Copies of this chain bind each other. A is one copy, B any other.
């Protein structure tokens, strides 16, 4: 068997892992818990949930192995916190306003794509865990996350459906079109890096235009 520790540290699977910001977690968690979450995000993103040890997580914030269990009930509980908050923030980033009935549907879809892509680019390390590590969740926690994912899908689907009703989109099926748009926004967590040539906002703008093209509309200003 290969030396696991060295092996693990070297593994990044091609993705650059940027430090997640501690503020992301909000007042729901105490200071130490927040730092543990950020350490966990780095570890999970680098090596995956199952390859990460509780010692890795605590060592990242200079605590002893046992200290984790004062703040979380298990390693899975840490993962759930990361994934739940990640999805909640992504959903919140889409904006909580009711869609304006009078606004241009194409502009609204473009706006959603911009928000979604910019959030995923900014928080691509957390978002990566939200996409890649769901298999580490216990069934009940997984179900809670699925519900958030359904809500995110619904926001996009409604916007696409409105444009289709208004006759400004040229696609055969709402679900399929929505799926393709979200695929673009999700897959960026696989390759995006903050120090690359594309700022989150530039990528957001590019993908908003691609989404409109896929929907069969010309860009709107």
Please give the residue numbers on chain A whose beta carbons come within 8 Å of chain B beta carbons, in ascending order.
1-2, 7, 10-14, 46-51, 74, 76, 131-132, 134-139, 142, 146, 176, 179-180, 183-184, 186-188, 190-191, 198, 206-207, 210, 213-214, 216
Majority SS of interface residues in chain A?
Answer: helix
How many copies of this chain are found per oligomer?
2
A131–B190 contact, CB under 8 A? Answer: yes
Q: What are 14 residue pairs bridging A and B, where the CB atoms are less than 8 Å apart in the complex? A: A1-B74, A2-B74, A7-B139, A12-B135, A13-B137, A13-B142, A14-B146, A49-B50, A50-B50, A132-B132, A180-B184, A180-B210, A213-B216, A214-B214
Q: How far is the CA of A142 from the CA of B13 in the complex (A)?
A: 7
A183, B179: Cβ atoms closer than 8 Å:
no
Residues of B within 8 A of A210 (CB): 180, 214
